[in-house]
């Protein structure tokens, strides 16, 4: 392993908190945020799959990828990706 890689690994180990080191409140918040993100993304993907292509602004494949972007993807799809004809 290169010196640079070791330095980066060492830095990452110091900046990331282990799950065991988090307070119960922080763990709960992390779980709530993760559940919210997953539910928004799944809802957006289901909507995209069921929606006809002519009711989507742009290509459905592009929107499927955008939805996968944390937090902003599903929100962007619901605000800009759907046509309300």
pLDDT, tens digit, 9 for 90 and up, residues 3-25:
776 666 666 565 566 888 889 99
**Local structure of residue 82 (DSSP, 8 states):** B
Closest CA to 60 of 37, 40, 83: 83
Phi, psi of 23 (to 5 degrees): -70, 160
Q: Which two tokens stand for residue 23?
A: 């307070």
pLDDT, tens digit, 9 for 90 and up, residues 35-60:
999 999 999 999 999 999 999 999 99
Helix pair angle (24-50, 60-67), 10° resolution: 170
């Amino acid at each position: 392993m290169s010196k640079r890689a070791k330095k980066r690994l060492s830095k990452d180990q110091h900046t990331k908190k282990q799950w065991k080191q988090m307070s119960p409140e922080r763990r709960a918040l992390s779980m709530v945020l993760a559940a919210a993100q997953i539910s928004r993304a799944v809802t957006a993907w289901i909507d995209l799959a069921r929606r006809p292509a002519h009711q989507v602004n742009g290509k459905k494949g592009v929107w499927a990828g955008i939805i996968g972007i944390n937090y902003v993807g599903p929100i962007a799809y619901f605000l800009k990706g759907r046509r309300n004809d």
